[in-house]
Amino acid sequence: MLRERLRIAVIGGGGHVGLPLSLVLAEEGYQVTVIDIDETRLQDLRENKFPFLERGGEELLHKTKEFDIQYTSDFSTISNQEVIIFTVGTPVDEHLNPSYNALYSALDTIKPHIRNGQTFIMRSTLFPGTSDRIKALLKKDGFDVGVSFCPERIAQGYAIEEIRSLPQIISGDSEKSVAIAKQIFGKIASSVVEVSIEEAEIAKLFTNTWRYIKFSIANQFYMLAEEKGLDFGKIHNAITYNYPRANDFPKAGFAAGPCLFKDTMQLAAYSRNNFHLGHSAMLINEGLPNFLVEKAKKITSLEGKNVGILGMAFKPNNDDFRESLAYKLKRLLEYENAEVYCTDVYIKDPRFVNLNEMMERCDVIFVGCPHNEYRELNMTGKLLVDCWDTFPQK
Ligand SMILES: NC(=O)c1ccc[n+]([C@@H]2O[C@H](COP(=O)([O-])OP(=O)(O)OC[C@H]3O[C@@H](n4cnc5c(N)ncnc54)[C@H](O)[C@@H]3O)[C@@H](O)[C@H]2O)c1
């Protein structure tokens, strides 16, 4: 019989995945310890400051007085926990292979505090086989802990709502690990779906890669249409209007951010670089900024011109700039010796200018990220380069 109010530590609990989950678990009545190495972030959280844009995040954080939750960088608290959830970042390295430095560093740090019988839930996206490898490494060091993999599938910025509304894929190395995953996520998710650990690991990579490839199809079609002098926005509207089979046909746009590209890359590494569809998608999506610069150059020279980039986040209505293709666009424009002015509604960066200044200074404007606030802007007289179809009335 499992205890109702499990003691749960969330490692990397100050991050985009870890923090919403920690708050939801605490709201549900679990005893939650958020463990992170980012002291500034921990202090912000103790002072009720939510560190990034997350719908419902601030309200939930403000309710924390009612919850049993604490924020710490003291890893010795691990010895007191029944369940340890890992949510640290898992990027790709300079050779485009999975890099698990943060994960292994966290595991090394907690080793002196691990107790047999604890359950480790891996929630970071993992290269298939990693959960089993972690279990084997710990076993070699004499630890007898359960390992479960329960991937996060939220859309960034909507985690608080989606943790509760989405089904949760769960897996575990034993009946106890699965039972614990079921108990925790059965309470907070809409339902749970059980598969084996490796199936769960690959299911997460397939989910993100499928999305990434869908975006690449739209981007390829955009480039194809534009090269023929056709308006892809109008064509997209014609295809999707009242046509249910095209409901999930995305518009063109920069497909990037901290997850989709690197998860497609992980799948490519998993397939021993024999993943033609994934590699093509990466070339197409990563090539879009270059296509836009070349498109503008066919109309005017960018040399010495004031050029604006409207929006720098990796996706609309968000403050996250990690792996945003707007920054790649900026570099490409600088190679053309353009004077580049960047602006963003949500990202505070002293190098950016405000929207009015950008509109006054720049006659050439690229849309880097179409936040809702830009939709009503008057672009008359500007050379507008916009793959997102931000201003369909143009
Ligand atoms: N961001 C998303 O929307 C999203 C969605 C689904 C899955 N994921 C996956 O979740 C994982 C985390 O992504 P994220 O966006 O939350 O990253 P993040 O960078 O926002 O959060 C990671 C947190 O871990 C902390 N950290 C790093 N090293 C640590 C260590 N050794 N010990 C303790 N804390 C440490 C960091 O300070 C940070 O607060 C990744 O595997 C990612 O692919 C992310």
Q: For ligand 1, atom 31, which residue shows the shortest CA distance?
A: 106
CB 184 within 8 Å of CB 176: no
Return residue ranges of the chain for CATH 3.40.50.720: 7-195, 203-385
Q: State the pLDDT at residue 94.
A: 82
How many angstroms separate the CA atoms of 387 and 223, rounded? 9
- Identify the architecture of domain 7-195 in CATH: 3-Layer(aba) Sandwich (3.40)
Neighbours of 269 (CB within 10 A): 17
Q: How many CB atoms lie within 10 A of CB 244?
A: 7
Output the six-digit token pair for 344.
Answer: 């963003």
Contact 34 CB / ligand 1 (< 6 Å)? no
Residue 4 has a pLDDT of: 77
What pLDDT score does 320 carry? 97
Give, using CA atoms, the residue closest to atom 15 of ligand 1.
16
Q: Is 36 in the pocket of ligand 1 (CB under 6 A)?
A: yes
Q: Which residue has the tokens 């836009």?
A: 292
pTM: 0.95
- Those residues of the chain that have pLDDT short of 50 are none
The pLDDT of residue 98:
83
Name 72's bridge partners: 35
Q: Which pLDDT score, from 0 to 100, does residue 1 have?
A: 58
Tell me, using a 6 A CB cutoff, whether residue 17 lines ligand 1. Answer: yes
Q: Does the beta carbon of 257 lie inside 6 Å of ligand 1?
A: no
Q: How far is the CA of 243 from the centre of ligand 1 (A)?
A: 38
Q: What per-residue confidence (pLDDT) applies to 284?
A: 98
What pLDDT is attached to residue 2? 66
pLDDT at 394: 57
| Mean pLDDT for the chain overall | 96
Q: CB-based contacts of 341: which residues, under 8 Å, 6+ apart?
A: 306, 307, 308, 309, 353, 357, 358, 361, 362
Pick from 10, 11, 17, 209 the residue to mutate for probing ligand 1's pocket: most ligand atoms within 8 Å of its CB: 17
156 CA: nearest ligand 1 atom: 3
Q: What CATH number does domain 203-385 carry, 3.40.50.11540, 3.20.20.70, 1.10.10.10, 3.40.50.720?
A: 3.40.50.720
3-state secondary structure 241-296: CCCHHHCCCCCCCCCCCCCHHHHHHHHHHHCCCCCHHHHHHHHHHHHHHHHHHHHH
Question: Which tens digit of pLDDT belongs to each residue from 113-133?
Answer: 999 999 999 999 999 999 999
The CA distance from 278 to 179, in Å, is 35
